[in-house]
Amino acid sequence: MRIGIDLGGTKIEGIALDDDGRELLRKRVTTPAGDYPATLAAVAGLVQGIEQQTGWEGTVGVGTPGAVSRATGRLKNSNSVCLNGKSLGQDLGALLGRPVRLANDANCFALSEATDGAAAGAEIVFGVIIGTGTGGGIVVRGSVLEGANAIAGEWGHNPLPWPHDAERPGPACYCGRHGCIETFLSGPGLERDHAAATGQTLSAADIARHGQQGDEACNASLERYEERLARALAGVINLLDPDVIVLGGGLSNIARLYANVPRLWGGYVFSDRVDTRLAAAKYGDASGVRGAAWLWD
Ligand SMILES: [Zn+2]
């Protein structure tokens, strides 16, 4: 049995998969905010609860925002800041009495979709999470590409490519720069762009829904969003040339992206034709936790 844990800022989700990848059960608890020892205990409790219910012992993989520093083994770049600087994998391993594998949550998402999801069987997969932020992960021939700095696939803080004059310098980003991809393509980025164009405050989900119902201003915001997503993904295609790009996160539910973005990205990809496929995540919100389980192959 494989156990996967998705350690997020608001909730911790656990899943148990049998040897064929079938889901045995899923449980979730609230993340103890800002409390590292309590977070460790909550993860351990979830694992123990799953093992009691199934009667089996499992391998444990954990996905979380941020990256494990190769130099120190400690977590960095996590938006759950109480985890940064901590030896999370080692501490959990000590609590659970077995080795624990830890990976970035977007890498887990990409691994899940590459293993038995929307990109199953593809050689090079880029998994993108477009939600509160913009994460990315790369899987090559079934394995997560970690990289020398453990940041492979992190495209959100590159500048939006081929910017128009009105997009320069672009919105301020929490990373300290302006015009990052994340400031345009995250949910808050779409909301900010729509508000700037219309003076109207709407959630990303409402912009998508109203656009679908024929609202012209919302439709225009979605068109700008699609054109920017096409540029940002064209930059990835030029560098990585993936077979499949899988979208996850809240904004991946916007159905029109899958027809419109590939129609637009050809204008920016350095190739006479683009065979890269853009696909919606097969497992939706469950992809991250499934990918954490798949960290043990
Ligand atoms: Zn940034």
**Between the CA atoms of 19, 9, 248 and 128, what dihedral angle is there, to the nearest 10 degrees?**
-100
In tens, the pLDDT along 3-24 reads: 999 998 888 999 999 999 999 9
The pLDDT mean for the chain works out to: 95
The alpha carbon of residue 42 and the mean position of all alpha carbons in its chain are separated, in whole angstroms, by 23
Looking at residue 79, its pLDDT comes to: 74
124 alpha carbon – ligand 1 mean position (Å)? 26
More confident call, 21 vs 126: 126
Neighbours of 10 (CB within 10 A): 8
- Please state, in angstroms and rounded to a whole number, the distance separating the CA atoms of residues 182 and 170: 11
Three-state secondary-structure class, residue 12: strand
The percentage of residues in the chain with a pLDDT greater than 70, rounded to a whole number, is: 100
Looking at residue 284, its pLDDT comes to: 87
- Per-residue pLDDT, averaged over 250-261, amounts to 96
19 alpha carbon – ligand 1 mean position (Å)? 40
What distances in angstroms separate CA 190 from CA 122, 183, 200, 206, one per listed residue?
30, 8, 12, 11
- Please state, in angstroms and rounded to a whole number, the distance separating the CA atoms of residues 190 and 75: 29
Cβ-contact 68, 16 below 8 angstroms: no
- Per-residue pLDDT, averaged over 156-176, amounts to 95
79 alpha carbon – ligand 1 mean position (Å)? 13
132 alpha carbon – ligand 1 mean position (Å)? 13
Cβ-contact 112, 294 below 8 angstroms: yes
Cβ-contact 230, 266 below 8 angstroms: no
